[in-house]
Amino acid sequence: AQKITQTQPGMFVQEKEAVTLDCTYDTSDQSYGLFWYKQPSSGEMIFLIYQGSYDEQNATEGRYSLNFQKARKSANLVISASQLGDSAMYFCAMRSLNYGGSQGNLIFGKGTKLSVKP
């Protein structure tokens, strides 16, 4: 069975500093995708970044980068130059891309609440 573990219920970071949000995963699939979503207090889930299991380079999207360590089964999100608007819940999620696997629904972790201090 697939599982996502986020061990940090809450994190604090000073504005303009970088922060790393941890995510480890468990799967027996050979092909899978890893996603990070941001959920502000208003409730919408905002897609941030994607990493495929066969991608050789770490994904980057603006201030977001994904530190992908396949052997360790970790996919940590790095946010550089934190802004007050980054305060939100952050969810790591995984999706099987295996032929014959699940229909591709996302498996989510429990999330990390990030608070950015001015």
Partner 1 sequence: GAGVSQSPRYKVAKRGQDVALRCDPISGHVSLFWYQQALGQGPEFLTYFQNEAQLDKSGLPSDRFFAERPEGSVSTLKIQRTQQEDSAVYLCASSLRGLRSNQPQHFGDGTRLSIL
In angstroms, give the least distance from the CB of 13 to partner 1: 21
In terms of CB distance, is 50 or 73 closer to partner 1?
A: 50
In angstroms, give the least distance from the CB of 26 to partner 1: 15
Report how far residue 59's alpha carbon sits from residue 81's, in angstroms, rounded to the nearest whole number: 17
Report how far residue 17's alpha carbon sits from residue 83's, in angstroms, rounded to the nearest whole number: 9
In angstroms, give the least distance from the CB of 49 to partner 1: 9
Burial 98-113 (b: 16+ CB within 10 A, else e): eeebeeeebbebebbe
In terms of CB distance, is 24 or 98 closer to partner 1?
A: 98
Footprint of partner 1 on this chain (CB under 8 A)?
Answer: 4, 31, 33, 35, 37, 42-47, 50, 52, 91, 93, 97-99, 101-111
- Report the largest interatomic distance among the alpha carbons of the chain, rounded to a whole angstrom: 48
In terms of CB distance, is 100 or 118 closer to partner 1?
A: 100
